[in-house]
Amino acid sequence: MGDVLAGLHAVWEFESDSVLIRFERGIRTPKLFQALGERRVPLEAIAGVTLTPGKRGTVVLRAVPRPGADPLMEAAADQLKEGSDPYRLVLPAERETLAEYYADELRARLTASGPAERFLVAAPEVPLQFKAYDGKASFDGRSVSFRWFWTGASSAKWKAGDQSFPVGALSGVEWRSPEVFEGYLRLLRRDDPGERAPQPDHDPAAVVFGLGYGPVHESLPFAAAVLAAVRSAGPADAAAPAGTGPRRDPADIADRIRHLGELHQAGLVTDEEFSAKKAELLAEL
């Protein structure tokens, strides 16, 4: 088709085999759109197209992604608000006829339906990182690392220590939007015995969100990138054990030992746990 349709916060460029969505970077543009920048959606990743009335004299053109085709939408699990849906293009009502034309053209080119066997839309590029309430999450494409904050992490996470999970050791990702109560990102492990998972604030495989921590535009692309890497990896990629990482800064180790001592004095850590964890921290120097 080679045509371009400009709407609110985004421009859709229709190509022979895909739709290239370019998001604006204006101050009113949702932060998730700005973080995504642009996305190329192959036609085989689209199950259908809808055109519906919008708010305040607008119409909404939406490409309906096939289940399993887009790691971002899979990670979001229907938790995105309408205004942050990257598959919606909002247009003035007077452009409805033009929108109908493009909707019909797209429908005529769609050939696939039902769940996709693999991800067809590219995941956000790595490296990625964000600050949660209780720690910093980082992903380099091969492993996910959690580094706990002494101001927010629970004693259970401090006892476990900083974590590193190779993607080959993971089976998936569970993302709960920070825009609802008790949002978090949890890594699902292949060796999970299937028992009831602990609360996220006590689970070393999860980081907890909070006001200003783990916002959608940072934590959701992160979750999508991890999910895509997990799907393309296998158990053979699990080379490094969880909980290992680079050697730490001495000042950071001192802060952690100080906080561990506070937990010990408060009775939250036993003498044995204190000694063992202190020795573990000193070994990282």
Q: Are 21 and 53 in contact (CB under 8 A)?
A: no
Q: Tell me, what's the pLDDT at 210?
A: 92
Model confidence over 130-153: pLDDT tens digits? 999 999 999 999 999 999 998 899
| Span 237-265, average pLDDT | 61
CA distance linking residue 88 with residue 85, whole number of Å: 6
Tell me how far the alpha carbon of residue 32 is from its chain's centroid: 11
pLDDT (0 to 100) of residue 263:
72
Q: Which residue has the higher pLDDT, 268 or 27?
A: 27
pLDDT band at 98 (very low <50, low <70, confident <90, very high): very high
Q: Are 2 and 15 in contact (CB under 8 A)?
A: yes
Is the predicted pLDDT of residue 254 greater than 80, yes or no?
A: no
User: Does the predicted TM-score (pTM) go above 0.75?
Assistant: yes
Strand partners, 176: 184
Mean pLDDT value of segment 5-30:
95
Cβ(144)–Cβ(167) below 8 Å: yes
Tokens (6 digits) for 194: 């299937």
Cα separations (Å) of 233 from 128, 169, 196?
18, 9, 25
Task: Give the helix/strand (H/E) hosting 100.
Answer: helix 96-109
Higher pLDDT, 249 or 91: 91
pLDDT at 278: 75
Q: Which amino acid is at 3?
A: D
pLDDT at 246 over 60: no
> What do you get for the CA distance between the two ends of the chain, in Å?
60
Tokens of 240: 């490094």
The yes-or-no verdict on residue 93 having pLDDT over 50 is yes
pLDDT of 240 > 50? The answer is no
The per-residue pLDDT for 244 is: 43
Average confidence score pLDDT of the chain = 90
Burial per residue of 89-104, b for 16 or more beta-carbon CB atoms within 10 angstroms, e otherwise? bbbeeebbeebeebbe
